[in-house]
Amino acid sequence: MSLADLVLAVVWNLATLPGIAAVLIAGLIYRWLSQNKYKLPPGPPGLPLIGNVLDFRGSTLTKKTLEWKGKYGDVIHYKMGFRRWVVISSIEALEEAYLQRGHDFASKPHVPSLASFSEDCNNIAFAPYSEALRYRRKVAMQAMRQFLTGSQHTERIHQVVQTAVSNLSAQKGSFDPHRFFSHVIFNLIHDLCFGYTLDVDDPNYVRLLSIFDNSNLQLVSFWEDAFPILLYWPTRRFQEATRIVEETRAYIKKHIDQRQKQFREDKLENLIDNIFLAQKVVVEGEDETLKAGFTDLHTRNIIRDIFFAGIATSRQTLDWIFLVLAANQKAQNKIHEEIDKATGGAVPGREHRTDLVYTETVIMEVMRLYPVVPMGLPHETMCDTQVGGYDVPAKTVILVNQYAIMRDPRHWDNPEVFKPERFLEENGTKVRTRLQSWIPFSIGPRNCIGEFLARQNLLYSVVGLLQQLHFDLAPENPQPDMTPEDTWFDLRPRPYKLVVTRRA
């Protein structure tokens, strides 16, 4: 029985206000007694029943937890309704939790909105930790790597980038480049998953771009998550979010159904085909646990995770990269020189990557300064455990303040300054491999499965665009506001304009 069902049953059977009050008081006493058996992390005091919900008025998750970090330390505790949340804001505490005690922190919370939007958490991002989940993660990563190796994917990137070069260079004067940068990442993921691309003016792209641009505002932070009883009387905002999710789910299902009709085991043409093959192996096997954890429902949600998560994060990173480079012409010119020397005018490919060291460090520095998902995805403890010397009870929601960790002055020299060279080895010819506090893809058993895909797409997209184009800030705004637009979920650049010219 869910919490919402329990609450409804109590209200239904205790029809008098004194009876309801008695139950609430008993619940508060139980909570107080159970809480006091733990040495919980410090944190802000909350109100009865609602916890710290009102503390977030006029603020966002990142801003408020940064404020609490300054007051209470690197590991803090607060409540949303009756639910405990712990935020980790140092690399030392994070490594203890996600590496040394990785299994303890490896599950995901059953957040009502996330469960609703992922078909009861039957995906990868929000699924409980299990053997079946580990297998689905393995399949997804193997399928992506198969299509990212060799020349096939770099040729695909080149074709997508050439379209972007034509679209960007055709713009006269200053303009907002957002839809064109998003188009690059959208088409790379769309082609990987479904085998074809869309024009920048295609109605499907225009609609999906609108959903991506607004979804981070629409699909997080619901009253229903703090008070699940509201699922029986959902707010208007939750109803609208559900409609959007159903629309995107139908788009994915349409493509999956088409591929199922054309699927041939001896002719794997895209990511869906690889995942179909993996599912076929499971169905024909003898492991009943894997069969139950890899159905058509799971396949649909794996594709949906890769498609939407891959686009949502990388496109905003691309927005940040070109804003930063337009504002730092010295860095942009250095990349131009490196690309020219490395490629000699040839189409950028895997054979050039070892010579694109500075370009890669610029991308990494932008991701450090402006992590587009600054709090990562929530985890949940699978058992009573500890971090930073504090107790963390089972079923506690865990967040990681990646923004704080990647700007921690204890680990980064002048952390607010754009300094790509910090990622170079001492001789300046290689990218540093040991980067303890660089965690845009998280760490541990639930780290992002799309890291390899994202880093490859970003590098070759940036190289392909900068090989042919130069980017300047709009004359009317020579000093753009670099302060992130902090929504509840992400850090996106404020709208900006560029002037794009073809390089000689």
Helical axes 131-148 vs 296-327, angle rounded to 10°? 50
CA–CA dist 32, 35 (Å, integer): 5
CA–CA dist 93, 101 (Å, integer): 11
CA–CA dist 77, 65 (Å, integer): 10
The residues that bridge with 83 in the sheet, in sequence order, are 80
Q: Is 102 exposed, middle or buried (0-12, 13-18, 19+ CB in 10 A)?
A: middle
Cα angle vertex 172, ends 170, 173, to 5°? Answer: 145
- What tokens appear for 29 in the block? 């006493």
Q: Is 448 annotated as a binding residue?
A: yes
Region for residue 442 given its phi and psi (left: phi exceeds 0; alpha: psi -120 to 50; beta: otherwise): left
Q: What is the largest CA-CA distance in the chain?
A: 81
CA–CA dist 219, 310 (Å, integer): 17
Whole-Å CA distances, 21 to 4, 13, 501: 17, 13, 69
Inter-residue contact 356 to 412 (CB < 8 Å):
no
**Cα–chain center distance at 214:** 15
- Residues contacting 240, CB < 8 A, separation 6+: 218
CA–CA dist 313, 373 (Å, integer): 7
Inter-residue contact 387 to 101 (CB < 8 Å):
yes
Whole-Å CA distances, 398 to 54, 62, 93, 100, 124: 20, 14, 12, 15, 17
Whole-Å CA distances, 43 to 125, 408, 462, 485, 498: 28, 20, 42, 26, 43
- Residues contacting 167, CB < 8 A, separation 6+: 180, 183, 200
Instruction: Please report where in the chains the tokens 């699924």 appear, as a residue.
Output: 127
Inter-residue contact 217 to 346 (CB < 8 Å):
no
Known binding-site residues for heme equal 448
Known binding-site residues equal 448
